[in-house]
Amino acid sequence: MLKEQVNQYTGISEYYDLLMTAGYYDYEAQTDSLAHIFKSCNSVLELGVGTGLVAEKLIKKLPEIDFVGIDFTESMLIQAQKRLAKNIDLRHENVLTMDLCKKFDAAFSNGGIWYFIDNHEKDYIFCSHLPKIQNIIKSFHNVANHLNNQGSLIFSVQGVHQDYEETLTDEITYSQQILPLPYDKFDKHYSFHRNKMLLAKQTCKYQLLPESMAQILLHECGFEFQYITPCKQYHVYKKVI
């Protein structure tokens, strides 16, 4: 019984990896877009490398690139290190406090720390895993300090968050529930079950901001909007100061 209780919290990365490899994202298309953006870059920082699914394909497409991946969740990094070559630089870091002692030509968040939501209206919605605006600003400043002049900052685009359930494999079912909170925040409850038995669960908090406000904050931190990729997969900003 104790092992099952522990797995509810420590096993989430294993089941998350199962979800991500079940067709949740099109990693080939995503990394094709990223490889095009990074074609003239020598170094890239992934913010929220997770279990290494994006990194794995991106490094194969850009084998000469100097790649560093950070993540706040150590169990995710353990999964990523199993997936990637031993010489790939993965670090257990917090975007608010990291000091990597190097600068990069580009940094990207593929749903890791921040991203944009396409709700099929005129403007996008900015979404952050950091539920305090002052920490969003601090994270932007810290990433800017890790980028070379004219370096790029790239945000992925995702769909609208909603309640969802899917049977994955081996009778494992993934479900998520969205709980709106005041001040444009929400909780997202994840859980994995097998035959109605809880295997793992996690709750994450998010902050939503209008795209216009996110652009103001990014501008104050030295970033200017450049373009959205043709398939609307990524928003590209550039460090201008």
**DSSP states along 63-98:** TTSEEEEEES-HHHHHHHHHHS-TTSEEEE--TTT-
Asked if pLDDT for residue 8 goes beyond 60, the answer is no
For domain 2-159+209-239, which CATH number applies: 3.40.50.300, 3.40.50.1000, 3.40.50.150, 3.40.50.720? 3.40.50.150
**Model confidence pLDDT, tens digit, residues 147-174:** 999 999 999 999 999 999 999 887 899 9
pLDDT confidence band for 2 (50 / 70 / 90): very low
Asked if pLDDT for residue 6 goes beyond 70, the answer is no
Q: What is the pLDDT of residue 169?
A: 80
Stronger pLDDT, 97 or 18, i.e. the higher one: 97
Sequence-ordered list of residues with C-beta below 8 angstroms from that of 18, at least 6 positions apart, any chain: 168, 169, 172, 192
3-state secondary structure at position 213: helix
The H or E element that residue 216 is part of is helix 211-220
**Model confidence pLDDT, tens digit, residues 172-192:** 999 999 999 999 999 999 999
Asked if pLDDT for residue 10 goes beyond 80, the answer is no
The terminus-to-terminus CA distance of the chain in angstroms comes to 55
Where are the chain's structural domains?
2-159+209-239
Asked if pLDDT for residue 1 goes beyond 90, the answer is no
DSSP structural state of residue 21: I
pLDDT confidence band for 39 (50 / 70 / 90): very high
DSSP structural state of residue 22: I
Sequence-ordered list of residues with C-beta below 8 angstroms from that of 23, at least 6 positions apart, any chain: none
Q: Could you give the count of Cα atoms lying within 13 Å of 150 in the half-sphere of its Cβ? A: 3
Q: What is the pLDDT of residue 11?
A: 62
pLDDT confidence band for 132 (50 / 70 / 90): very high
Cα radius of gyration (the chain) = 18
pLDDT confidence band for 58 (50 / 70 / 90): very high
Smallest CA-to-CA distance from 148 within 37, 43, 58 is with 43
